[in-house]
Amino acid sequence: MTIRVYAPASMGNVSVGFDVLGGALAPIDGSLLGDCVSLAEVEQGIEVSTIGKFAHKLPSDPKQNILYDCAVAYQKELTQLGKPFKGVSLVLEKELPVGSGLGSSASSVVAALYGLNEFYDNALSKNQLLLLMGQLEGQISGSVHFDNVAPSYLGGLQLMVERDDVLCSTIPSFDDWYWVVAFSGAKVSTAEARALMPNQVELKTALKFGQNLAAFIDASHRGNSDLAASLLVDIIAEPVRAPLIPGFVESKNAMLELGAMASGISGSGPTLFAVTTDLAKAQQLQDYLQQNYIQNDDGFSHICKLDTLGARREALRGTV
């Protein structure tokens, strides 16, 4: 059996929900924005290799690749369940830039673990798998936070609940919102961006954060698009991180002046996002970012909707 799995890019935080809200991205031109993993049976053990545009940014030793850790962790779970682990090879197609703020490590981890679960007859439940995804992604980003793995796995906009059986909840999203995203091409290490964060916030900041997030979730459930967009503000991470992302403040201001309903940092950056319901405006925002925010050949921009499907099987390479 050979299977190939895709896991979409994601925006952590979505401004208003630091570490607890995230959305999966689907470019409207139909292209894939995320990593794929192909799995095939081998005689024994775990084999890992990497191809794709950003493969050269990963460690050359396969055992240093997070996919290897994913397979070891999955094997441990199978052993605990008393199930056999047949040998497996995993080939990662690394298409998302590392340190981009687009959930690059989450995309690899989700594709690998989703693929392993398919490969081993869905031995783990959704919640078990999501917990494992969070743990493995946390090894790379410096601490466990689910705001990239949950949307990449389940699609849409995911709010982390983390209560007993309810790990996360799909928040109703606005079908007519376009999410314009631009990766500048600069690398921001999530672990380093997290190390910058203060350990404590003032009480008034904590209260405002809770109010903004609760009001955003409420507005989303009520279908109040303008109110929801006006609540996409980040009073926790953006004030600390924005000054360190070249060109971010100028480009965000430009997005709002050009009529975006909201704009912010995707994950820990440097990817910037902007929201609009008007496709012509989305194009204008993208043009601006393409000309002013992108710094080198690694950079790119896309007009996206939310990817409502999440991780899924794709056709094998070379078969379409």
From 145-153, 212-220, 222-230, 244-252, give the range in contact with ligand HSE by CB under 6 A.
145-153
107 binds ligand HSE (CB under 6 A): no
Q: In this complex, which beta carbon is closest to ligand HSE, that of residue 106 or of residue 228?
A: 106
Q: In this complex, which beta carbon is closest to ligand HSE, that of residue 62 or of residue 142?
A: 142
State which of residues 145, 252, 302, 305 lies at the interface with ligand HSE (CB under 6 A): 145
Of 109, 197, 151, the C-alpha closest to 24 is 151
From 13-21, 62-70, 80-88, 271-279, give the range in contact with ligand HSE by CB under 6 A.
13-21
Of 94, 99, 85, the C-alpha closest to 188 is 99
Please give the residues from 200 up to 229 whose contact with ligand HSE meets the rule CB under 6 A.
none
State which of residues 4, 7, 14, 19 lies at the interface with ligand HSE (CB under 6 A): 19
- Which whole-number Å values give the CA distances from 78 to 1, 96, 232, 270, 301, in the listed order? 19, 29, 41, 38, 40
Per DSSP, what are the bridge partners of residue 25? 306
148 binds ligand HSE (CB under 6 A): yes
**Cβ-proximal residues to 150 (8 Å cutoff; 6+ apart), any chain:** 22, 130, 134, 158, 160, 167, 168
- Which whole-number Å values give the CA distances from 230 to 28, 156, 302, in the listed order? 24, 20, 22
Q: How many residues appear in the chain?
A: 320
Q: In this complex, which beta carbon is closest to ligand HSE, that of residue 75 or of residue 190?
A: 190
CA distance 205 to 224: 24
CA distance 108 to 97: 11
DSSP state of 243: G
14 binds ligand HSE (CB under 6 A): no
Q: In this complex, which beta carbon is closest to ligand HSE, that of residue 38 or of residue 104?
A: 104
Q: In the chain, at which residue ranges do the beta strands (DSSP E only) sit?
A: 2-8, 10-12, 21-27, 34-41, 46-51, 88-93, 157-163, 166-171, 178-183, 262-265, 272-276, 300-306, 312-314
State which of residues 93, 95, 137, 147 lies at the interface with ligand HSE (CB under 6 A): 147
Closest-CB residue for ligand HSE? 267
Where do runs of H (alpha helix) occur along 29-65?
none
158 binds ligand HSE (CB under 6 A): no
Q: In this complex, which beta carbon is closest to ligand HSE, that of residue 207 or of residue 240?
A: 240
**Binding characters for ligand HSE, 110-129, by CB under 6 A (x = yes):** --------------------
13 binds ligand HSE (CB under 6 A): yes
Which residues of this protein are in contact with ligand HSE, per CB under 6 A? 12-13, 18-19, 101, 103, 145, 147-148, 190, 193-194, 237, 267-268
